[in-house]
């Protein structure tokens, strides 16, 4: 039976056009695999993952390894995460410089005792010097009077 199948397929497989097509397919597969490995390595490197590990996974498992990498890769680039952290720190520093009301988030002056928008008490006046103090302070740092 194998001899019969071999006799039927031998003229087709020995055809120069089929041989060329088969060689082109092998070449395409090799180039595609190399490109996939390179892309995975660069993407993993930019995202802060273990680039060499994921390149090896794609080399060993080809499209299945690439699909696994696509599922488990970090959702953002490392430089984007760094930029986001810097922006958060800048916003936090800006908020510390310009205080806001904790109830309505309206910008308030550091000397205000109550919020002019929502009337929430922000600070209390010192019993002696009348300077604004934080609500939880037990002594005035300006005149040393106990509250």
pLDDT tens digits, 41-63: 999 999 999 999 999 999 999 99
CA atoms within 13 A on the CB side of 66: 15
Whether the per-residue pLDDT at 24 is higher than 90: the answer is yes
Mean pLDDT for the stretch of residues 111-122? 92
Whether the per-residue pLDDT at 27 is higher than 90: the answer is yes
pLDDT band at 118 (very low <50, low <70, confident <90, very high): very high
Top pLDDT among 110 and 57 is at 57
Please state, in angstroms and rounded to a whole number, the distance separating the CA atoms of residues 37 and 63: 10
Where do we find the tokens 């510390």?
A: 96
Residues 98-108: tens digit of each pLDDT: 788 888 888 88
Where would I find the H helices in 1-147?
A: 2-13, 16-46, 51-61, 63-72, 78-97
* Percent of the chain scoring above 90 in pLDDT: 74
First to last CA, the chain: 105
Whether the per-residue pLDDT at 132 is higher than 80: the answer is yes
Q: Please state the pTM of the whole predicted model.
A: 0.56
pLDDT, the chain, mean: 92
User: Tell me, what's the pLDDT at 114?
Assistant: 93
Please state, in angstroms and rounded to a whole number, the distance separating the CA atoms of residues 130 and 9: 103
User: Tell me, what's the pLDDT at 1?
Assistant: 66
Please state, in angstroms and rounded to a whole number, the distance separating the CA atoms of residues 43 and 56: 14
φ and ψ at residue 73, rounded to 5 degrees:
-70, 155
Q: Where are the domains of the chain?
A: 2-79, 99-147
């Amino acid at each position: 039976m194998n001899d019969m199948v071999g006799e039927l397929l031998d003229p087709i497989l020995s055809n120069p056009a089929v041989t060329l097509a088969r060689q082109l397919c092998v070449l395409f597969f090799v180039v595609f695999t190399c490109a996939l490995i390179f892309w995975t390595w660069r993407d993993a490197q930019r995202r802060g993952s273990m680039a060499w590990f994921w390149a090896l996974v794609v080399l060993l498992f080809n499209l299945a390894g690439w699909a696994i990498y696509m599922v488990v890769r970090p959702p953002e680039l490392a430089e984007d995460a760094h930029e986001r952290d810097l922006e958060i720190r800048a916003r936090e520093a800006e908020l510390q410089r310009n205080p806001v009301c904790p109830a309505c988030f309206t910008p308030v002056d550091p000397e205000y005792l109550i919020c002019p928008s929502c009337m929430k008490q922000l600070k209390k006046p010192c019993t002696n010097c009348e300077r604004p103090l934080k609500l939880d302070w037990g002594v005035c740092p300006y005149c040393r009077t106990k509250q």
